[in-house]
Amino acid sequence: MTLSITGYDAAGVWTQNLSKSEQLTGWEKPAGITWIQAENIDKPEEVNRMAEIFGIHPLTVEDILDHTHQRPKVEEFENYLFVTFKAVNFETDSGLSHISMIITGDMVLTFQDKGGNDFETIKRRIMNKAGRHRRMGADYLAYTIIDTVVDEYFISIDTFGSEIEVFEDRALTEKDETFIKDIQGVKRKLLKMRRAVWPLRESIFMLMRLESNLLNNDLDPFLKDLYDHVIQAAETVDTYRELIAGIMEINMTVVSNRLNQVMKVLTIISTIFIPLTFIVGVYGMNFTFMPELDYAPAYFIVWGVMFCIAIGMIIFFKRRKWI
């Protein structure tokens, strides 16, 4: 676990990095907005110690630590707001990483189960003296953190969008199992994403409706905008799921049409030769009395007849649009 602390007010910014939560004991919160960011949380005891220092409810600690069974949500406690949500990053193993956030009047604590410098841009914007962060409260900082994660959703969504376009072309040419496996892979990722996005939508809706003095009124248009973005993300994910269903349908039709085409041509070849083989069989019979056999041009007549039959069948098949 790594801890980094960023403090700022209208006048200035200061940062500090700690390697252990122990170093926080006896730490005195300076004036201004403070953001304590814990990354790669893996040891429960470290989180427990921080909970003790900052007065966090044991249930919140459980929610911070249980990254697999935790669903995006907002919870209001006596002295803080607890928001938890998922960041998506489909390069990693499970695709989702778990972020928990505690918002008090002048402090934001974030806990990430994985690392990554996703939040560097926020820090740069805090540095900017004329930026909005310096004028607004901790709630605005919390908003920008969620907003950054939601913006990353759109990066993933746009990646899916390009992948789907590629699949649309592949659907018309590929016919083996790789295709179906690849497309099911994307489908599964979209399913995961859906489970991250839809509950976040509810959570932000709840934040908007919350009558908490931890959230200032001037945050309202920002939350509305954020809500709007999350709905957009959620709906795009659902649209992509429908598109994928359509692509799979096209692929199945294409594959089965091609195969049927091949089988039909093969069957037609057999069907043309089987009657001919019968005819040559007839004149291979060893009957003593077979008048045709001794008729000199009979051999050539048989060839002619067989040729006509073959041509006739081909024309018949063509007329019926079978070939």
280 binds its own copies (CB under 8 A): yes
195 binds its own copies (CB under 8 A): yes
Of the candidates 133, 125, 116, the residue with the CA atom closest to the CA atom of residue 9: 133
What are the strands of the beta sheet with 2-8, ordered from one edge?
13-18, 2-8, 33-39, 107-112, 96-103, 81-88, 73-76
Minimum distance, C-beta of residue 279 to its own copies, in the bound complex (Å): 8
288 binds its own copies (CB under 8 A): yes
75 binds its own copies (CB under 8 A): yes
285 binds its own copies (CB under 8 A): yes
284 binds its own copies (CB under 8 A): yes
211 binds its own copies (CB under 8 A): no
What would the DSSP string read from start to end of 22-59? Answer: GGGTT--PPSSEEEEEEES---HHHHHHHHHHHT--HH
Q: For residues 230-259, which are near its own copies according to CB under 8 A?
A: 231-232, 235, 239, 242-243, 246, 248-250, 252-255, 257, 259
Burial (Cβ within 10 Å: 0-12, 13-18, ≥19) of residue 41:
buried
Burial (Cβ within 10 Å: 0-12, 13-18, ≥19) of residue 91:
exposed
Stretch that binds its own copies, among 24-32, 73-81, 86-94, 122-130 (CB under 8 A): 73-81
Supply 237's token pair. 């994910």
Stretch that binds its own copies, among 1-9, 40-48, 136-144, 278-286 (CB under 8 A): 278-286
Stretch that binds its own copies, among 2-10, 48-56, 110-118, 284-292 (CB under 8 A): 284-292
10 binds its own copies (CB under 8 A): no
Q: For residues 289-318, which are near its own copies according to CB under 8 A?
A: 289-290, 292-294, 296-299, 302
Of the candidates 246, 72, 240, the residue with the CA atom closest to the CA atom of residue 157: 240
Minimum distance, C-beta of residue 70 to its own copies, in the bound complex (Å): 7
